[in-house]
């Protein structure tokens, strides 16, 4: 059978490019299509109904682009929309195709590295309020105690390319003060945007902890998934091709996206409502 499908990666904006970068580092041979819904980013403060609708549109777009597997590289969408997408939407509309998220792999990795079973999470408001991390950790190990801090300003800062401003470090330090007396030994960066702030987060944490960044984890997790699901893997093409789409201005996405991805990218415009793409 001819391999002719790509792996789709979707995020509300630029953050998922760091996830794709980590995946490509581990699995460079496959073809990938990236979609950033930058026109409507960030998702973190939106309602769960809105996030679900946006995620459905992204899934439609990527499956129409002949993706055989989609990774939702957005914790807000993974928290609020993924279960309904998996259990209801694609089972009816795209039977046999799969959509995965990034939240569970991050939780699993954190559970492995923690020594005292006290884990901190920084994430968007949508992710924190969904209690998704609480549910996943309870399934992994009910003895794990988690402390979550919503950081609503961080994703917009990254989306605007303002991560190097002095004020950003002040904001990060203020958010992390929440953990001073919590005795956590592990901190999850529970938003894909936060990877670009990783060094600043480590620097401004009140004390030393292990930091789990999803972009460092997802590649290996996907490799294992494909090894277990050869019925999917055998259809993914291996030409090392990467195609990038944005719902907003392509020139801006190329500039900031290249920073996230680590190399220059060329971007096409996507219309999620109509599924139409143009150069």
Catalogue the active-site residues.
Answer: 74, 191
Burial class (CB in 10 A: 0-12, 13-18, 19+), 278: exposed
Helix (H) or strand (E) holding 159: helix 154-159
Cα distance between residue 152 and residue 196, in whole Å: 16
Task: Check: CB of residue 136 under 8 Å from CB of residue 104.
Answer: yes
Task: Check: CB of residue 74 under 8 Å from CB of residue 46.
Answer: no
Task: Check: CB of residue 193 under 8 Å from CB of residue 14.
Answer: yes
Q: Is 186 left (phi over 0), alpha (psi -120 to 50) or beta?
A: beta
Cα distance between residue 260 and residue 267, in whole Å: 14
Distances, alpha carbon 261 to alpha carbons 174, 196, 264, in Å: 28, 10, 8
Considering just the CA atoms, what is the radius of gyration of the chain in Å?
18
The count of C-alpha atoms lying within 13 angstroms of the C-alpha of 112, restricted to the half-sphere facing its C-beta, is 8
Helix (H, G, I), strand (E, B) or coil at 49: helix
Distances, alpha carbon 206 to alpha carbons 147, 158, 173, 176, in Å: 15, 22, 8, 7
Instruction: Give 3-state DSSP helix, strand, coil % of the chain, rounded to 5.
Output: 50, 20, 30
């Amino acid at each position: 059978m001819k391999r002719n499908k790509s792996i789709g990666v979707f995020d509300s904006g630029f953050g998922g490019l760091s996830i794709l970068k980590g995946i490509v580092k581990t699995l460079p041979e496959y073809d990938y299509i990236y979609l950033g819904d930058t026109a409507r980013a960030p998702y973190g403060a939106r309602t769960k109904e809105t996030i679900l609708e946006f995620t459905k549109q992204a899934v439609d777009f990527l499956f129409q682009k002949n993706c055989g597997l989609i990774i939702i590289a957005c914790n807000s969408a993974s928290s609020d929309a993924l279960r309904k997408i998996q259990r209801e939407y694609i089972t009816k509309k795209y039977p046999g195709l799969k959509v995965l998220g990034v939240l569970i792999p991050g939780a699993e990795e954190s559970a492995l590295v923690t020594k005292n079973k006290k884990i901190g999470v920084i994430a968007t408001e949508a992710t924190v309020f969904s209690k998704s991390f609480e549910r996943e950790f309870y399934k992994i190990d009910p003895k794990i105690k988690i402390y979550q801090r919503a950081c609503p300003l961080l994703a917009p800062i990254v989306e605007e390319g303002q991560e190097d401003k002095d004020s950003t470090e002040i904001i990060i330090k203020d958010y992390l003060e929440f953990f001073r007396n919590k005795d956590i030994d592990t901190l999850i960066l529970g938003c894909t945007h936060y990877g670009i702030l990783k060094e600043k987060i480590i620097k401004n944490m009140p004390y030393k902890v292990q930091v789990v960044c999803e972009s460092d984890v997802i590649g290996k997790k996907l490799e294992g998934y494909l090894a277990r699901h050869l019925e999917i893997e055998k259809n993914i093409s291996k030409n090392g091709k990467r195609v990038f789409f944005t719902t907003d201005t392509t020139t801006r996405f190329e500039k900031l996206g290249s920073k996230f991805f680590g190399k220059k990218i060329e971007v096409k415009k996507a219309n999620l409502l109509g599924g139409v793409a143009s150069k």
